[in-house]
Structure 1
Amino acid sequence: MSKTHYKRLMNPDYIGAYSLNEGEDLTVVIAHVAREVITGTGGKKEECTVAHLKGHKPMILNSTNQKSIAKLYGPYIEDWAGKPITLFASTTKLAGDTVECLRIRPTVAKRTLPKITDERLKAAVDKIKAGEYTAEKVRGNFTLTQEQDEWLTQELQVAAAGVPEDAPA
C-alpha cells in the first residue's frame, strides 16, 4: 500500500520530490522552459527557471537540474521543449539539514510500449489494408506477441498478393 506524503495535501503549484511514490521514477515531457517570478513560502517572490511539463505541474529547475538537462539535450532551453526527462526523488544538504529534492536521471527511461488487443490489431490491419495506417506504426506504438506479429505479417502478405480474404486456403 502506498502512503501519502503530507506535502501532497498542501497542493503546491509545483512538482516536488513528495509527488513521487517511494522508489518511483517519473518520465515526463518538457512543454517549455522560461524564467518566471514565483511566490515561495512566506510570500517571498523570486525569479526562477521553470520547466512546464506536459500533463504535470511545472518544476522549478535549480542549477543542478538545469545542468542535467543540458547534458541530455544541450545548453539551449528552446531545444528542451518536447524532450523527455526522468525524475526521481533524492536528498541534498540545505542550511545544514538533509532535505528531499527532485533530480533528473542522466538517461531517459525507455518508454514501455503498451500491449495491443487482438481486436485492436484486427482494426489496425483493416486500416493498413485501406492505406490509412502502416505496419511500422503498429510495431512502433505497441508490443505484439509473437503470434500477433506472425498473424500481422501473414495478413499483409495475403493482402499484397491480392488474394480475397474469403478464398479457400
Structure 2
Amino acid sequence: MHYLKLYPSKYLSVADIPEEGGELTVTIDRYAREKVVSDKGEEEKTLLYFSDFAKPLVLNKTNANSIALKHSPQVEDWKGKKVTFRESVTSLNGQERPCVRVK
C-alpha cells in the first residue's frame, strides 16, 4: 500500500494511481474555479473534474500545459478527452515529493 493512502485526500493524488500498471486514465468532464484549503490557507484554484473518476484534480500549470499540448489550448475543448496520469517527483521548498503528472 502506498504510504499516502494513510492520508486521504478529496483531490486526485499519487495515492489514487494504481500500483499495478502505475497509470490512471480518466475522461475530462469539466473544469471549475473553486476555493481549496491547503497549508497556505484558502486559495482559489482550478479543479478538473472527470466523468469516470470521483475525485477532481487540482490543476497546476505543468499539468494544464501537458493537457493543452495533447488536446487543445482551449479548456472548453477538453470535455470528453482522455488523459492519463502517472506518479512523478517534484521539488517543493527544496524537498522532493511525489506528485501526479500527465503522461
Please confirm whether the aligned pair reaches a TM-score higher than 0.5, indicating the same fold: yes
Q: Which runs of 5+ in 2 are unaligned?
A: none
CA distance in 2: counterparts of 1:94 and 1:11, whole angstroms = 20
Which protein shows a greater Rg? 1
CA distance in 1: counterparts of 2:38 and 2:52, whole angstroms = 23
Q: CA RMSD in A?
A: 1.6
Percent identity at matched positions? 38
- Aligned partner (choices 64, 67, 70) of residue 68 of structure 2: 70
Kept after mapping to 2: 8 A contact 1:29/1:53: yes
Q: Which runs of 5+ in 1 are unaligned?
A: 106-169
- Aligned partner (choices 56, 61, 74) of residue 59 of structure 2: 61
The runs of at least 4 consecutive aligned structure 1 residues that moved more than 6 Å come to none
1:79 aligns with 2:74: no
Q: Show CA shifts across 1:77-117 (max 9, x none).
A: 11111110010000011110001010001xxxxxxxxxxxx
TM, length-normalised to structure 1: 0.56
1:48 aligns with 2:45: yes
Kept after mapping to 2: 8 A contact 1:89/1:103: yes
Q: Does 63-72 or 18-27 show the bigger shift?
A: 18-27
Q: Relative to total residues, which structure has the larger helix share, 1 or 2?
A: 1
Kept after mapping to 2: 8 A contact 1:33/1:80: no
CA distance in 2: counterparts of 1:41 and 1:54, whole angstroms = 28
Kept after mapping to 1: 8 A contact 2:4/2:14: no
